[in-house]
Amino acid sequence: MGRWAPDAAIRLERAALELFAEQGYADTTVPQIAARAGLTTRTYFRHFADKRDVLFLREREFPAVVSAVLADAPDGLTPVDLVMHGFDAVARDGFDAWREAVRARRRIIRSDAHLRERELLKSSALAGAIEGVLLEHGLESRDAALLSSFGVLVFDAALDDWLEGPNDRPLHEVLRETRDRLGRLTG
């Protein structure tokens, strides 16, 4: 998880998800989260604006992580392979050890309309980050917009499938299957 957030933020996220699961999102307070993580409330607010914000740590970091991975991508990939390479690298690096945490987070977000709206905004931030990389690679703007949306669509669908599926399928495999599935459906 080397590309991700500082350790304190990760510990706070884990503590928050545990508490939300144990006693519910509404009944959990920021001081409780900080205490469970062995940190102060003040440290909490150095990393997050409010209680809700801890749920969006990965989303906040995700655009920058994907951009960094794409900057290190091998030369000579087609644009779509470049995008899928970025998601593949992130999936291999950051997700499989965290499936239960990602599942817990998703359950909480789906329980609240405001959290769902915020989640949708974050997908559009991710698409924007990928679009920026594609523009730097010389893609025409409409192509960059279309392909970045396509990549996020495949990633979001793969994430759903991975969260709902059996426990032994790594995300990067589900990602490849999802892209193949969409290719068959639309080809």
Which residue ranges make up the site for its own copies (CB under 8 A)? 79-80, 116-118, 120-121, 124, 142-143, 145-147, 149-150, 153, 156-157, 160-161, 178, 181-183, 185-187
Contacts of 45 (CB under 8 A, 6+ apart): 30
CB of 147 to its own copies, least distance (A): 5
Closest CB to its own copies among residues 67, 149: 149
Nearer Cβ to its own copies, position 1 or 121? 121
Q: Nearer to its own copies by C-beta: 27 or 160?
A: 160
- Name the minimum Å distance from CB 67 to its own copies: 20
- Minimum Å gap between C-beta 31 and its own copies is 29
* Token pair recorded at residue 183: 């290719």
Go through 147-174 and write b for each residue having 16 or more CB atoms within 10 A of its CB, e for each that does not: bbbbbbebbebbbebbbeeeeeeebbeb
C-alpha distances out from residue 19 to 11, 23, 32, 66, 95, Å: 12, 6, 8, 29, 21
**Smallest separation (angstroms) from its own copies to the CB of 120:** 4
Task: State how far the Cα of 80 lies from the Cα of 13, in Å rounded to an integer.
Answer: 32
Number of helices (H), then strands (E), belonging to the chain: the values are 9, 0
Of 42 and 114, nearer to its own copies (C-beta) is: 114
Considering the complex, state which of residue 19 and residue 159 has its C-beta at the smaller distance from its own copies. Answer: 159
Residues contacting residue 32 through CB under 8 Å, at least 6 positions apart? 19
Provide, rounded to whole angstroms, the least separation between the CB of residue 92 and its own copies: 22
